[in-house]
Structure formats: C-alpha cells, structure tokens
Amino acid sequence: MTDNVDARITPSLHPDNVLTIDGYDEQTAPYLAPTMTAFSSAYEGIRAVNEAREKAKTNPTWNEAMQIIHTDDFAQKHLARITKSFDVTRSNLEKGIAMLEQQLTTPIESKAAQSISAEIRSYAKNLPTEQRHKFIQEAIDAGDEKTVSSLLGAPPYLSGLDANFQQLYVRFWHERTSPDLARRLKAMKGAKQMIEDRAGLVFESMTRAVGAPPHKAAALRKAKTEAEQAFVLKDIG
C-alpha cells in the first residue's frame, strides 16, 4: 500500500486493494479506475471525519455530546457521498459485465465450406462422448477456427452435443480468441465482488470515527433540540 495509510481505518477499505484484484494490469486499470476512486473517496471521507472528531475535542464550548452531534452531522454528509459512489460504480460494473458476457457468448459463424463442415460434425458425432469432448477442446486450444466454427456454428445435435455444452465451448472459444476481453471481465467481476464484500465496512468505520453509533447521535440531537425549545421567546401577548 502507499504511504497514506491511516491506522484508524480498516485496511480493507484502502484503495490500493484494487491493485490486488485478479486480472488487474495496465490494460484493465482504466476499467477499474472508478472502483479505485470509490474506495479512495470512502477512505478519505472516513479520514476527514476522524480528523473532524479530533478537532471537535479542542472546542472549549462543546462537551462530548456536542462533539458527537457535530461530528455525526459531518459524517452523514460524507456517508451520503460515499454510498452513492459505491452504488453508481457497482451498477456500472454490472452493466459492463453483462455486455462482456454477451460478447463472450455470441454465436459462432461457420468458417469452413458447407461440405467440410458437415463432415467435421459427422466425425465428431460418431466419436465416443469422451473422445468428442476431447476433440472439441483440442481444436479450441489449437485455435482451429474451421473445426471449431463447424462444430459450434450449427445446431448442437448435429455434432452430438447438447445446447449447454455448445454454449460452454462457445465461451471457451471466445476466451481463447479474445483474452483481453476475458481478462477485463474477470477484473470487473473482481471489482464488483470487492465492493459488495467491503462497502458495508464504511458504516462501522464511520461509527468509530464519530465516537458513537447513529442512534445515539440521533438521540443526542433530539435532546439538544428539545432543550433549546426552552429558550425560544414565546409571544405571551
């Protein structure tokens, strides 16, 4: 992690954690930049609330209750910004993932002549099941576009497959021929999972920064308001 580590904040929220996501590299970094920004905003927001709390303690006119009330007011503003950032980032990742999933499952168009394609499918269909799957996987691994497109670019039953296996092999083929796309998808899924797993830690961290849970701050704020009502000048005309 970088030098801007704050011991008061859980390490799980540090933005440098994004660098550890499986699939993160120079090519996928731009797609994970919003996730990095969301965690950075959360980390710095919590840091600001911690510092505000320390500053509140130096105000000679505020007792502990007033310190909590004012710090919580500040925390709620940061919390609204942080949760919105995580929600928007997660939503955009979800849309991007759906788009990439669609690209990686796009039906394959046969690249071989019709007669050759028919022969390839017939050959595969007549193989024992285990040998058939081995034949298809080896063709995918070898980047044999004619064989793969012949088998996967036609109804699955013509090759002795079912629809699920054909979809699986289509996915394997796209990942084989578009590794950058597959790596981006993996990285974006990792970013989405990280947000889902860790965003909730913000609430706990904010509570520690404020020095009291939200319900206590709310109760103190209510008591303050009610007490101040006694000093409102009433019209007794």
158-175-178-170 Cα dihedral, nearest 10 degrees: 20
Q: From the CB of residue 2, how many other CB atoms can be counted at a distance below 10 Å?
A: 8
Residue with the two structure tokens 């925390």: 75
What's the CA gap between 128 and 151, in Å, rounded?
16
Check whether 85 has a pLDDT greater than 60.
yes
pLDDT band of 108, cuts 50, 70, 90 = confident
Average pLDDT, the chain: 93
pLDDT (mean) for 23-28: 94
Question: pLDDT tens digits for 217-236?
Answer: 999 999 999 998 888 887 76
What percent of the chain shows pLDDT beyond 70?
A: 97
Q: What is the value of pTM for the model shown? A: 0.84
pLDDT of residue 132: 95
Q: Which of 75-89, 96-110, 179-193 has the lowest mean pLDDT?
A: 96-110
Residue with the two structure tokens 């090519």: 27
Check whether 72 has a pLDDT greater than 90.
yes
pLDDT (mean) for 22-37: 96
Q: Nearest 5°: CA angle at 83, between 77 and 84?
A: 90
Asked if residue 125 lies in contact with residue 159, where contact means CB atoms within 8 angstroms, the answer is: yes
Check whether 25 has a pLDDT greater than 80.
yes
pLDDT (mean) for 98-122: 86
Range from 32-36, 103-107, 111-115, 177-181 that averages highest in pLDDT: 32-36
Check whether 155 has a pLDDT greater than 70.
yes
**Count of positions (residues) in the chain:** 237
Q: Considering only residues 234 and 198, tell me which one the structure prediction assigns the higher pLDDT.
A: 198
pLDDT of residue 236: 67
Check whether 237 has a pLDDT greater than 80.
no
pLDDT (mean) for 173-195: 95
Residue with the two structure tokens 């954690």: 17
Which token pair is 205?
């961290």
Alpha helix (H) ranges present in the chain? 29-56, 64-104, 114-125, 129-142, 145-152, 163-177, 179-198, 201-210, 214-228
Asked if residue 45 lies in contact with residue 96, where contact means CB atoms within 8 angstroms, the answer is: no
Q: Which of 3-7, 76-80, 135-139 has the lowest mean pLDDT?
A: 3-7
Check whether 1 has a pLDDT greater than 50.
no
Question: pLDDT tens digits for 123-138?
Answer: 999 999 999 999 999 9
Q: Which residues contact 93 (CB under 8 A, 6 or more apart)?
A: 34, 35, 188, 191, 192, 195
Asked if residue 65 lies in contact with residue 167, where contact means CB atoms within 8 angstroms, the answer is: no
What's the CA gap between 118 and 97, in Å, rounded?
35
